[in-house]
Chains A and B, each alone.
Chain A
Amino acid sequence: MKLTKLTALAATTALCAPMAMAADMANEMTIVSWGGAYQESQLKAYVEPYQEMHPDLKVIWDESSAEATAKMRAMTEAGNVTWDLVDVVASDAMRMCDEGLAAELDHDEVLATAPDGTPASEDFGELIVSDCFVPQIVYSTTFGYRMDKVGDTPPSSICDIFDTAKYPGKRALQKRPIDNVEWALYCDGVAKDEIYDVLSTDEGVERALAKLDSIKDQVVWWTAGAETPQLLADGEVVMGSTFNGRLFSAIAEQNQPIDMLWDMQSFDLDGWIVPADLPEDRKARVMDFLKFATDTQRLADQAKFISYGPARASSAPLVGKHAVLGIDMAPHMPTDPANAGNVHVYDYEWWADNRDDLDAKFQAWLAK
């Protein structure tokens, strides 16, 4: 009698163990992202498949990635972090990691290995720019132009942006110094690998601003990625910089008379961070999701919905066709060899140190 009771108890414990583990995971998860087509691609590629496996899970979206660092800092100071997983650009991830707002991760431990057994840290390689950062995609800031307004010779070099004689009309540029000053110096004759050395001097900054001055009255300054495609579609500007995925969607999905200029495109990364000091159950859920969402197949799936390159080396060969249009996605990726002939990788560290100074000068220059 006693023995049967004991066996029964042991059996129930054994049966309950996996259930107990599942109960340790929170059933609610707040994901922070950028909204729009990009968030849609995340929803389709990994959130919905994950929810199919875990039907009880409730996912709450917050679209404040643009202000993620400020909000994370405020929430941490208030001692009440309500976010579970945050999608940020690499420089923000580094900043949050430095300030202790994001949790440091052991990439090989928490992320899935590649199908051929390559550990995650090798598969992501150099793109792991911070201990807290799990890269998802490589995107680029590049230029789009109106095909019908550039005559018979469409622009082929980034420096055509500064050529108002050949391409009259307005240009759209992002309202921040990053990328703009580098492009300006490059087109002012500075060699690519000397750009940051020149920018480190006061004369270099003045030189960059002087170059930008030559087109200042022709520039419409944008702050949101959706503005340039809209301005191009309206015919307000002849050419403008924006994220390559936005241009792809204007060209391929909306059939606008726009084409892309792949020269000196500025590479950047986007990925996840997990807030530091999450409660155990929430952290367990996030880690489980993170492992799923960043495996080789899932990252390749995301490229079906948006033209951003997957951050895993092993995902690249799996990139297929657009989910709706059925066109081959590989040639539209910023990482495709045909597009990546002349790229610009901006120096995170240099900008982390000099951003405040350059911002002050840039904004004062703008206001003049």
Chain B
Amino acid sequence: MSDTTHTGPVLAADGTPLKRSLARALRMQKIRALMLIAPLLLFVLLTFILPIADMLFRSVENRIVSDTLPKAVVALQDWDANSGVTPDEAIFAALAADLQVAAQEKTHTRVGSRLNYENPGISSLFRKAGRKVKRWDLAEDGPFKEQFLKIDEDWADPEVWRTIQTYSGAYTNGYFLNAADFQKGAEGAELRPENERIYGTLFLRTLIMSLAITVSCIILGYPVAWILANLPSRTANLLMILVLLPFWTSLLVRTSAWKVMLQQQGVINDTLVWLGLVADDARLVMINNQFGTIVAMTHILLPFMILPMYSVMQTINPSYLRAAKSLGATNWTAFWRVYFPQSVPGIGAGSILVFILAIGYYITPELVGGTKGVFISNRIAFHISQSLNWGLAAALGSILLVVVLALYWAYDKIVGIDNVKLG
């Protein structure tokens, strides 16, 4: 009796409890699996996640003011920005000490251009002052308030000091406010002047045009994918090459080809004039606008729509359609009630692929979009390489990332990401 009523833990052959032994074996397996993917994990972490995190961090980071002007920032803490009074000598002396160090390290123009984003004109104040302050003797040359005002009267403007005070923190929401067409006024966030608002329009335009491109890809891609899926495989393979051929051609070549096709003295307009459909002096404007962007990008992204659709349609058994027809369905009913629902996962996969690619495109809109057909990415590129306002570029990029994630989430709620099949 006693050996069958044993209540202790079940033991493995070596005497350890079976549960622990099993856990150890599983852990070993997990570690081995992890080791196998470790190189990839590390690679993704180092080259993808970290740079993105670093980029996103730039959108709130604002250490430059407090790092470059440490004494002035401390001195300014007790100054009341709303009093409308120019700060006193102590604050000017602190700024002089800071600027002397900064001018030697050549960081004063950087802080100048940082503050210039918020209050145009500050950049020149810092430039001019830096040049002079470098040669001052801090012990002898006071009082500094007079000296600064001699360099430029604008140093007396409380608005300048308010800007320094407002942006003296290590972190700021200034870039995000700017990216949403807002600015920090005396009483908190306020809309920017009407002639400087641009980002709202651009975000909206990017979304609407990406949607238009996705829809036109569905309309053009669906019949092609259907034909590919229903032809004998030899013909289908030949046609597949025709779909893939442009896919293998350089993006720039294809975009430039559209320029040649669509411009006013281009192939299409020439043909229309020759046919007499369009007067020579009233040629159609088809490029450097939204139309040009939609046409060129639809062409470029079409394979991303056709391929997932094709791979899903291939798995739909043709006998379902025959069965539907034999039960009395018309062609349309058979297609719409039987075939189409089964092809929806392909449309879903293609749409999400095309839409997310479209939303971040910038080369094609830059070349064929003119002014009305450019996307938010073109502004991001502009701020990265031309205006060098990386903080604003990071903020715009973060918003774009959040928008994409939100749309993905909404898509998951409505269609369900499980329904997306890539093959």
The stretch of B132-140, B195-203, B244-252 that contacts the partner chain: B195-203
B100 within 8 A of A: no
Chain A residues positioned under 8 Å from B233 (CB to CB): none
Residue of A nearest to B113 (CB): A356
Chain A residues positioned under 8 Å from B185 (CB to CB): none
Q: Which of A73, A235, A364, A367 contacts B388 (CB 8 A)?
A: A73
Q: Mark B200-237, 1 if CB is under 8 A from A, else 0.
A: 01100000000000000000000000000000000000
Q: Which of B109, B127, B366 contacts A223 (CB 8 A)?
A: B366
Residue of A nearest to B121 (CB): A353
Chain A residues positioned under 8 Å from B120 (CB to CB): 353-354, 356-357
Taking a contact as CB atoms under 8 Å apart, the answer to whether B288 and A220 are in contact is yes
Q: How far is B116's CA from A352's CA once the two chains are assembled, in angstroms? A: 11
Q: Which of A221, A352, A355 contacts B370 (CB 8 A)?
A: A221
A99 within 8 A of B: yes
Known: A99-B110, A367-B201, A367-B202. A70 touches B123 (CB 8 A): no
Chain B residues positioned under 8 Å from A67 (CB to CB): 385-386
Q: How close is B264's CB to chain A, nearest CB, in angstroms? A: 6
Q: Mark A330-368, 1 if CB is under 8 A from B, else 0.
A: 000000000000000000010011111101110111110
Chain A residues positioned under 8 Å from B371 (CB to CB): 175, 221, 366-367
Q: Mark A226-241, 1 if CB is under 8 A from B, else 0.
A: 0000000011100000
Q: How far is B121's CA from A73's CA once the two chains are assembled, in angstroms? A: 23
Taking a contact as CB atoms under 8 Å apart, the answer to whether B384 and A353 are in contact is no
Q: Which of A221, A235, A349, A364 contacts B198 (CB 8 A)?
A: A364
Within 8 A of B (CB), among A173-187: 175
B330 within 8 A of A: no
A109 within 8 A of B: no
Interface size in chain B (residues, C-beta < 8 A)? 36
A98 within 8 A of B: yes
Within 8 A of B (CB), among A216-270: 220-221, 223, 234-236
Q: Mark B358-394, 1 if CB is under 8 A from A, else 0.
A: 0000000010001110000001001011111100000
Q: How far is B384's CA from A66's CA once the two chains are assembled, in angstroms? A: 12
Q: Which of A69, A98, A365 contacts B127 (CB 8 A)?
A: A98
Interface size class of A (residues with CB under 8 A): 20 to 34
Q: How far is B388's CA from A70's CA once the two chains are assembled, in angstroms? A: 6
Taking a contact as CB atoms under 8 Å apart, the answer to whether A363 and B384 are in contact is no
Residue of B nearest to A67 (CB): B385
Q: How far is B256's CA from A234's CA once the two chains are assembled, in angstroms? A: 13
Taking a contact as CB atoms under 8 Å apart, the answer to whether B127 and A352 are in contact is yes
Taking a contact as CB atoms under 8 Å apart, the answer to whether B263 and A349 are in contact is no
Taking a contact as CB atoms under 8 Å apart, the answer to whether B198 and A360 are in contact is yes
Q: How far is B102's CA from A111's CA once the two chains are assembled, in angstroms? A: 30
A100 within 8 A of B: yes
Taking a contact as CB atoms under 8 Å apart, the answer to whether B263 and A234 are in contact is yes
Q: How far is B385's CA from A355's CA once the two chains are assembled, in angstroms? A: 14
Q: Which of B107, B264, B389 contacts A356 (CB 8 A)?
A: B389
Chain B residues positioned under 8 Å from A366 (CB to CB): 371
Q: How far is B371's CA from A220's CA once the two chains are assembled, in angstroms? A: 9
Q: Which of B201, B379, B387 contacts A355 (CB 8 A)?
A: B387
Chain B residues positioned under 8 Å from A170 (CB to CB): 264
B124 within 8 A of A: yes
Residue of B nearest to A363 (CB): B198
Chain A residues positioned under 8 Å from B322 (CB to CB): none
Chain B residues positioned under 8 Å from A100 (CB to CB): 105-107
Q: How far is B264's CA from A175's CA once the two chains are assembled, in angstroms? A: 20
Q: How far is B371's CA from A39's CA once the two chains are assembled, in angstroms? A: 30
Residue of B nearest to A352 (CB): B123
Q: How close is B387's CB to chain A, nearest CB, in angstroms? A: 6
Residue of A nearest to B260 (CB): A234
B265 within 8 A of A: yes
Q: How far is B269's CA from A234's CA once the two chains are assembled, in angstroms? A: 13
Q: How far is B165's CA from A336's CA once the two chains are assembled, in angstroms? A: 52
Q: Which of A98, A349, A363, A364 contacts B109 (CB 8 A)?
A: A98
Chain B residues positioned under 8 Å from A357 (CB to CB): 116, 120-121
Taking a contact as CB atoms under 8 Å apart, the answer to whether A361 and B384 are in contact is no
B117 within 8 A of A: yes
Chain B residues positioned under 8 Å from A223 (CB to CB): 366
Chain A residues positioned under 8 Å from B109 (CB to CB): 98-99
Q: Which of B197, B201, B264, B366 contacts A236 (CB 8 A)?
A: B264
Taking a contact as CB atoms under 8 Å apart, the answer to whether A365 and B124 are in contact is no
Chain B residues positioned under 8 Å from A356 (CB to CB): 113, 116-117, 120, 123, 387, 389
Taking a contact as CB atoms under 8 Å apart, the answer to whether A70 and B195 are in contact is no
Taking a contact as CB atoms under 8 Å apart, the answer to whether B195 and A361 are in contact is yes
Chain A residues positioned under 8 Å from B105 (CB to CB): 100
Residue of B nearest to A170 (CB): B264
Taking a contact as CB atoms under 8 Å apart, the answer to whether A352 and B124 are in contact is yes
A-B contact pairs, 27 of them (CB 8 A): A66-B385, A67-B385, A69-B388, A70-B385, A100-B106, A100-B107, A175-B371, A220-B288, A221-B288, A221-B370, A234-B263, A234-B265, A234-B266, A235-B265, A349-B124, A352-B123, A353-B123, A353-B127, A354-B120, A355-B387, A356-B116, A356-B387, A357-B120, A359-B387, A360-B196, A363-B379, A367-B372
Nearest 9 pairs of A and B residues by beta carbon: A100-B106, A357-B120, A353-B124, A98-B109, A67-B385, A364-B198, A70-B385, A366-B371, A235-B265
Known: A220-B370, A361-B196. 5 other contacts (CB 8 A): A67-B385, A69-B388, A70-B386, A234-B266, A353-B121
